[in-house]
Amino acid sequence: MLNYPQIDPVALQLGPVAIHWYGLTYLAAFALCGVLVMRRAARTDLPLAPGRISDLINWVAMGVIGGGRLGYMVFYDLSAWLANPLKVFQIWDGGMSFHGGLIGVIVALAWFAKREGASLIRVGDLVAPAIPVGLAFGRLGNFIGGELWGRPTDVPWGMVFPHVDALVRHPSQLYQAAGEGVALFVLLMWFARTPRPAGRVAGAFLIGYAVFRFAAEFAREPDAHLGPVALEWVTMGQLLSLPMSLAGVVLWRFGARWAGPLNKLEKG
């Protein structure tokens, strides 16, 4: 049995301004993702200059934050949002949804691709292998913040979260960091090391994340105000991962047909 290390979620206090570790993990994630996408862009046929990659990462960041917050309110706290629609802007209260963030990222990528005259599917293939890095940092931020703890367990590496209760629980944040973060990153980088038909890399990400998330939910404590949402055991995270995996299969199968030319220069 291990004890949660009781990490102070505030990394730095500057007078009235508190800089939280969770925010720093987001900044680190966006920075590292930007570097990875730039390196991938240099090895692909997608004609995006480094300056355009910076714009792309900025759009992705806005999609993650905006979509993540709105998705949380819709998927996990709809009644509170309907009672107070402005609550969606109260980010300091906490509450971000990966699946909502993913929708936000897709919208951001679609806007960027349209503006650049590029294919959304090809831009998605470019970005997809870098996303697990952000997920790993995000789950580490969850662990530092002492949130999204796991279900009770008797495994030797179980952890007591004193701010929750005295039960030994799965450190599910670390499971997710290792699965949907590190393992998925390694698999996607390996898969994307050679040219693939358009849509295959992005499709592999959608399928891979859905599988890792579905499995991790068996160790993660369901949200207290939701509990299981179907069949007395299916969680919201698992439910939302099902259409995600289906979208990945469709993208894998038909992405190359729908991708179109690399950019607008090929249309003439």
| Nearest by Cα to 124 from 31, 267, 221, 247 | 247
First CA to last CA distance, the chain: 65
Judge whether 139 is annotated as a binding position. yes
Length of the chain: 268
* The one-letter amino acid at 125: D
Q: How far apart are CA 230 and CA 239, in angstroms?
A: 8
Q: Given the structure tokens 């055991």, which residue do they identify?
A: 233
Q: How far apart are CA 170 and CA 4, in angstroms?
A: 11
Could you tell me which residues come within 8 angstroms of residue 92 by beta carbon, excluding any fewer than 6 positions away? Answer: none
In degrees and rounded to multiples of 5, residue 212 shows phi and psi of -65, -40
Number of H helices, E strands in the chain: 10, 5
Q: Tell me the sheet residues that pair with 234.
A: 230
Sign of CA dihedral 14, 18, 24, 30: negative
Contact 19, 141 (CB under 8 A): no
Contact 76, 223 (CB under 8 A): yes
Contact 120, 109 (CB under 8 A): yes
Binding site residue list: 139
